[in-house]
């Protein structure tokens, strides 16, 4: 491919990623839609780029995206805020994720004839909301209560790593027993082994890096070291039989909450968390990864089967029903209006984590029967984003119209002067 064309496409992708924030404020359509449309235009629609050109590198880019997503997710979780809203957050996150997983799996087995383990994997991949889409949606809803916004943000931060962790564990389980004949205790043993290795090594890696990190913070470009350390941790944990992506999440959690970790462990030794420069640099890396990955997804997706598109739409509607049910239960004792509950029900977009995981089972692990996942999950991502955007926009518009009508019909409550007033006495 000509170098000039590649540079033009890179420039166009960065510009679209940047100005999509402006488009979002005007149209409420998240950047994922614009980037996927752009990728589809230069890929399967006009054929400027052949999908095979990137397919050989997709697994590498997906692994990098997993690393960055989970590290960002871990570093964004505030332990104290999580504890403060722990019951509602954990209930909404865990119960909502599990219920979504099993509803998707049930539909996949009943209507798609997908084997149970693969159906569970499909449910795990689309089981959680996407923080890169939820955050800007909430920030542009000025009438949404702060505690409601915090609840939704914390949910999206946690479900991204949860979807990835559960999906990786299920992938490892499927690789051990593709037919699903493995005993349940073997599944639990494998899951606990994978999680324990990943979380313990990730925690130790975060503590070790925090203990030496402060020695480099006064040097220029020190923030590059953390990214390099993440790649090193990824390799080490994979060599020990764990998941490097899960370990990256734990490193982010430790470094993002270092003062709390020190108090919990009663450590007097100097431990440093993430500096402002490091957080800023990580956000730039996350922007780069998100922008190019969504454009790449648009390039390689081939929506050639109408039945898979319909399956994706069906799953999106089922997830909306699950969302509304969970929100009603979770907010039963919260002092919020029905409008707030309805808005919460529509904020359920799937995004970056689902897109990263969509291609892994077939492209990276060569699991038979998962080649249809990409089109189904792509449809779910686009459908849930559009439903969330349109639903929230309609509810906001309806709320403004109702407020205007109520204001116009509001009676004048100021007291009118009575005709029985005593005459005023003129002073001489």
pLDDT at 110: 92
Residue 414 lies in a domain: no
Comparing C-alpha atoms, which of 204, 280, 216, 202 is closest to residue 245?
202
Distance CA 298, CA 375 (A): 11
> Residue holding tokens 């479900």?
159
Comparing C-alpha atoms, which of 375, 183, 161 is closest to residue 247?
161
Residue 415 lies in a domain: no
Q: Residue 202 to residues 79, 158, 242, 254, 357: CA-CA distances in angstroms?
A: 17, 17, 10, 9, 21
Comparing C-alpha atoms, which of 57, 60, 50 is closest to residue 300?
50
pLDDT tens-place string over residues 223-257:
788 888 999 999 999 899 888 888 888 898 888 88
Comparing C-alpha atoms, which of 369, 361, 365, 376 is closest to residue 179?
369
Contact 172, 188 (CB under 8 A): no
Residue 308 lies in a domain: yes
- State both tokens at 312: 């994706």
The pTM (predicted TM-score) of the whole model is 0.74
pLDDT at 17: 84
Q: How far is CA 340 from the centre of its chain?
A: 21
Contact 130, 138 (CB under 8 A): no
Comparing C-alpha atoms, which of 215, 205, 273 is closest to residue 235?
205
Residue 30 lies in a domain: yes
**Residue 422 backbone dihedrals phi, psi, to 5 degrees:** -70, 140
pLDDT at 234: 92
DSSP string, 248-310: HHHHHHHHHTHHHHHHHHT--S------HHHHHHHHHHHHHHHHHHHHHHHHH-----HHHHH
Contact 39, 16 (CB under 8 A): no
Residue 343 lies in a domain: yes
> Residue holding tokens 């799953």?
315
Residue 142 lies in a domain: yes
Comparing C-alpha atoms, which of 163, 148, 158 is closest to residue 354?
163
Q: Which residues of the chain have pLDDT under 50?
A: 418-422, 425-428
Contact 74, 251 (CB under 8 A): yes
Comparing C-alpha atoms, which of 332, 374, 317 is closest to residue 58?
374
Residue 412 lies in a domain: no
pLDDT at 401: 60
As for how many domains the chain has, the answer is 1
pLDDT at 419: 47
Long-range contacts of 276-282 (CB under 8 A, 24+ apart): 277/222, 277/223, 278/222, 278/223, 278/226, 279/75, 280/223, 281/223, 281/224, 281/227, 282/68, 282/71, 282/72, 282/75, 282/223, 282/226, 282/227
Domain that residue 124 falls in:
3-399
DSSP string, 48-72: SS-THHHHHHHHHHHHHHHHHHHHH
Contact 395, 325 (CB under 8 A): no
- What CATH number does residue 13 fall under? 1.20.1530.20
Residue 13 lies in a domain: yes
């Amino acid at each position: 491919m000509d170098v000039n064309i590649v540079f033009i496409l890179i420039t166009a992708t960065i510009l679209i990623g940047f100005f999509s924030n402006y488009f979002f404020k005007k149209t409420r359509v998240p950047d994922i839609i614009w980037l996927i449309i752009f990728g589809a235009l230069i890929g399967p629609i006009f054929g400027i780029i052949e999908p095979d050109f990137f397919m050989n590198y997709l697994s590498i880019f997906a692994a990098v995206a997993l690393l960055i997503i989970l590290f960002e997710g871990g570093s964004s979780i505030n332990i104290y805020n999580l504890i403060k809203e722990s019951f509602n957050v954990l209930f909404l996150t865990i119960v909502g994720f599990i219920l979504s997983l099993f509803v998707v799996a049930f539909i996949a087995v009943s209507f798609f004839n997908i084997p149970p383990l693969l159906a569970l994997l499909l449910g795990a991949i689309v089981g959680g909301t996407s923080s890169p889409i939820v955050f800007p949606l909430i920030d542009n809803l000025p009438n949404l209560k702060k505690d409601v916004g915090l609840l939704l943000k914390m949910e999206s931060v946690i479900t991204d790593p949860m979807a990835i962790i559960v999906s990786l564990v299920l992938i490892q389980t499927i690789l051990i027993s593709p037919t699903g004949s493995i005993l349940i205790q073997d599944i639990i043993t494998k899951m606990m082994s994978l999680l324990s290795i990943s979380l313990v090594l990730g925690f130790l890696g975060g503590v070790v890096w925090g203990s030496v990190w402060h020695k480099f913070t006064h040097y220029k470009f020190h923030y590059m070291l953390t990214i390099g350390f993440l790649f090193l941790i990824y390799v080490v944990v994979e060599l020990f039989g764990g998941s490097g992506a899960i370990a990256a999440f734990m490193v982010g959690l430790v470094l993002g909450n270092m003062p709390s970790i020190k108090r919990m462990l009663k450590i007097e030794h100097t431990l440093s968390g993430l500096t402002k420069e490091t957080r800023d640099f990580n956000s730039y890396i996350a922007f780069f990864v998100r922008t190019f990955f969504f454009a790449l997804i648009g390039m390689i997706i081939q929506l050639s089967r109408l039945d898979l598109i319909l399956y994706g739409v069906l799953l999106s509607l089922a997830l909306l029903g699950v969302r509304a049910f969970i929100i009603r239960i979770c907010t039963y004792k919260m002092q919020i209006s029905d409008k707030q509950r309805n808005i919460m029900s529509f904020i359920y977009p799937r995004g970056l984590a689902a897109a990263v995981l969509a291609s892994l089972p077939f492209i990276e692990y060569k699991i038979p029967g998962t080649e249809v996942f990409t089109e189904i999950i792509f449809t779910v991502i686009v459908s849930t984003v559009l439903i969330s955007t349109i639903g929230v926009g309609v509810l906001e518009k309806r709320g403004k119209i109702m407020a205007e009508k109520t204001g116009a019909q509001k009676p004048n409550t100021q007291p009118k002067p009575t005709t029985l007033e005593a005459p005023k006495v003129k002073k001489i």
